[in-house]
Amino acid sequence: MSCDHEHAHEHVVDFARVGQPVPPFKMETFDPTEGFFGEVDLGKLREEGKWVILFFYPADFTFVCPTELADLAEKHAELKEMGAEVISISTDTKFTHMAWKNDERLLENVKYQMGSDATGEVSRFFDIWDYETGLALRGTFIINPDGVLVSAETNYYNVGRNADELVRKMKANVHLRENPNEACPAKWEPGKKTLTPGEGLVGKVYEALND
């Protein structure tokens, strides 16, 4: 995946991997708030200390996709309060995004930027590119303010996602960034007890991560 020149030799990898940095990249977008076209720059978002949520979906003008984007729109304000920049992404052009946003009733509350991965380069980097169809699968990726990929989820075409779980995972990741010696158990929610890894292999991994 191409990246900015100043980062060209920093953490170059073939595919995105959880726990590894994501090289900064830029992408054309349709910005529903401005009502026109824009650009998302991961390098700039990192400099601003933002969390980044990349929400890939197969295509505009389809059936399951608008239900997912509408669900995500309901949680957008909450995610934004946690310092997250939300970007939906498909292989459609920015012009198609604009037409779909203006045509589809379910998208009336979408305010996050809609990214265009027309070449499939970013989808291939995140390993969700379907070579038979030329479309991206349903992939959700959380990148922390250091540019490290901390969460990855991929669904096939026929299973929509739940933004409630995305919010829960964001809350957990934000908490752990502020409390790096803790771990969140299954179904953890803010206010519930966390775990302390302690001794053994898990403890050594946490110690290495937090050096």
Catalytic residues: 65
Contact indicator for 38, 54 with CB cutoff of 8 Å: no
Is residue 80 classed as helix, strand or coil in its secondary structure?
A: helix
Which letter does DSSP use for residue 22 in this model? P
Which letter does DSSP use for residue 6 in this model? G
How far, in whole angstroms, is CA 61 from its chain's centroid?
21
DSSP bridge pairs for 52: 85, 143
Contact indicator for 40, 115 with CB cutoff of 8 Å: yes
